[in-house]
């Protein structure tokens, strides 16, 4: 947890902020406390996103859906303001270690812990999907290892599903996105199951199923490579492999995963001793941070309904007497200030010799509000530009990854050039044709063939035997090579490869027709 920066608010709503927990694509997350001293996590939305009416509508819908998710498996939503100038969301703070931090500090988790993690995540997704949500960013950083079990957090990019699928842009974490999410296809809840399988591999191996790398590299691996499950315990290998299937209709749902794994032991700690010590240390730090915020000398009250601009009033322990009323002998303060400022010293002793300072127009509340508004607008425009640059970079990276993936699967022209002499010189065709002729003659003469037996005169019968075997070899070899090239080129949209493959097939069969093979 980091300290609050100079531009951070001291309060959001009725919640006092203590430190920063992190920042994401939607907003910044703070650690704070409620009026009763309970620890909370407060997410404040970025200003440029708050200015988007469509985002506000979606955010309000997601908050309403997230309130229905049980706190037994997640960090429950306890408060929110979706109508204020800057929307915010408050969830209960769970003393814990994020899965990525635990693995990075203490290494991969044992099999017993991974089994409990799998069951806990499946229960959490069951509850999330029941409320019509798709998480869309289930990753190790959004999985908390608490003393009583794993919790799923951060519904920041979850979208309430309408109908059977939620259409989305390509948003997520490389290495833990499903192929459908990478392609920007409409998502169903099975996309979260792919992410669950990737999280389990990370917990068991210390690295995701597709390794590490830049986003284009990860996208290509997700689309084309099988996952690396070598470190997954054998008892979980089958269910994890099913979760990581490329086709979403093959993946299990959370209920099927729970039925496959079954009950896990409920006695004793589910975490390794080193990780449990880290969780307990985190709990002590949170309690210490909460204790430091207590001030017995000042009672604080917050004006209700003030949102992010909540006003704080401080009442001293000793009440102050009411100021005396102005009389003829003591003019009102404004009048006395004017007279002293004008040079009349008649009442100077009442102000301890301090002359009144004229209020500069720049110091008026109106001018101050204008400067603050201009500064907020400047920051909002900068954040909007930064957000657009991030989106453009992600789109470009995705397009480049798709192009590289297609290019990687394209047949090479150099390979074609190396194979081309073999298509003309009968180094392969003669032995292949002789073997095929003898094989077909043997098969047609056996009991497995019901037709008329075919007789081959033999390779040494000149010229019929050798010529027939050579043409048969050209037919088999050249057509197989051409068809292989044709399918690879069609899959990768390689126009030059398609043209070359068709030329090989047409030329070979035209020559065979000319020499009387057909």
Residues recognised as catalytic: 137
Helix (H, G, I), strand (E, B) or coil at 40: strand
Burial of 126 (0-12, 13-18, 19+ CB in 10 A): middle
The set of long-range contacts for 368-373, using a CB threshold of 8 Å and a minimum separation of 24, is none
Please give the backbone phi and psi of residue 121, each rounded to the nearest 5 degrees, phi first.
-70, -40
197 sits in which H/E element: helix 190-205
Are the C-beta atoms of residues 457 and 464 closer than 8 Å to each other?
Answer: yes
Q: How far apart are CA 355 and CA 157, in angstroms?
A: 58
Q: How far apart are CA 178 and CA 188, in angstroms?
A: 11
CA distances from 185 to 166, 168, 182, 202, 309 (A): 9, 7, 8, 25, 40
Number of helices followed by number of strands (H, E) in the chain: 16, 14
Q: How far apart are CA 474 and CA 471, in angstroms?
A: 5
- Indicate if the alpha-carbon torsion angle 344, 348, 354, 356 is positive or negative: negative
Q: How far apart are CA 374 and CA 421, in angstroms?
A: 73
Q: Is 139 annotated as a binding residue?
A: no
Nearest partner of 476 among 428, 409, 516, judged by Cα: 428
Count the Cβ atoms, other than its own, within 10 Å of residue 189. Answer: 23
Query: What residues form DSSP beta bridges with 89?
Result: 43, 80
Tell me the binding residues for ATP: 43
């Amino acid at each position: 947890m980091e300290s609050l920066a100079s531009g951070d608010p001291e309060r959001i709503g009725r919640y006092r902020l203590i430190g920063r927990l992190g920042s994401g694509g939607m907003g910044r997350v703070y650690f704070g406390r409620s009026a009763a001293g309970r620890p909370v996590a407060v997410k404040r939305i970025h200003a440029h996103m708050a200015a988007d009416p469509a985002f506000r509508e979606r955010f309000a819908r997601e908050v309403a859906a997230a309130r229905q998710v049980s706190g037994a498996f997640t960090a429950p939503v306890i408060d929110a303001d979706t109508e204020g100038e800057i929307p915010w969301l408050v969830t209960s703070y769970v003393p814990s270690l994020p899965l990525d931090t635990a693995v990075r500090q203490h290494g991969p988790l044992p099999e017993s812990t991974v089994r409990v993690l799998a069951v806990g995540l499946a229960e959490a997704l069951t509850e999330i999907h029941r409320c019509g949500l798709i998480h869309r960013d289930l990753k190790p950083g959004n999985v908390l290892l608490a003393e009583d079990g794993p919790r799923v957090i951060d519904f920041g990019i979850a979208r309430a599903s309408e109908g059977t699928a939620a259409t989305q842009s390509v948003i997520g974490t490389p290495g833990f996105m499903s192929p459908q999410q990478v392609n920007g296809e409409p998502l169903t809840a099975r996309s979260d199951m792919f992410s669950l399988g990737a999280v389990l591999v990370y917990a068991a191996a210390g690295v995701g199923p597709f390794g590490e790398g830049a986003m284009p590299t990860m996208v290509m691996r997700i689309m084309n490579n099988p996952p690396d499950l070598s470190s997954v315990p054998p008892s979980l290998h089958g269910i994890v492999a099913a979760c990581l299937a490329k086709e979403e209709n093959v993946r299990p749902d959370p209920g099927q995963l729970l039925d496959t794994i079954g009950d896990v032991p409920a006695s004793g700690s589910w975490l390794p001793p080193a990780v449990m010590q880290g969780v307990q240390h985190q709990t002590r730090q949170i309690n210490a941070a909460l204790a430091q915020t207590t001030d017995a000398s000042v009672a604080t009250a917050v004006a209700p309904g003030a949102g992010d601009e909540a006003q704080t009033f401080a009442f001293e322990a000793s009440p102050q007497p009411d100021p005396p009323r102005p009389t003829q002998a003591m003019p009102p303060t404004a009048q006395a200030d004017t007279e002293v400022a004008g040079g009349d010293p008649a009442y100077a002793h009442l102000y301890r010799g301090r002359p009144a300072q004229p209020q500069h127009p720049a110091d008026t509340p109106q001018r101050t509000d204008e400067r603050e508004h201009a500064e907020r607008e400047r920051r909002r425009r900068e954040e909007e530009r930064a957000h657009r640059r991030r989106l453009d970079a992600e789109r470009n990276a995705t397009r480049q990854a798709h192009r590289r993936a297609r290019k990687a699967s394209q047949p090479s022209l150099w390979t074609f050039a190396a194979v081309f002499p073999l298509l003309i010189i009968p180094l392969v065709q003669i032995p292949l044709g002789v073997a095929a002729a003898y094989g077909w003659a043997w098969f047609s003469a056996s009991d497995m063939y019901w037709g008329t037996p075919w007789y081959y005169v033999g390779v040494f019968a000149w010229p019929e035997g050798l010529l027939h075997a050579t043409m048969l070899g050209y037919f088999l070899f050249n057509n197989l090579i051409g068809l292989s090239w044709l399918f690879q080129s069609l899959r990768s949209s390689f126009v030059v490869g398609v043209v070359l493959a068709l030329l090989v097939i047409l030329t070979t069969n035209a020559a065979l027709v000319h020499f009387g093979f057909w």
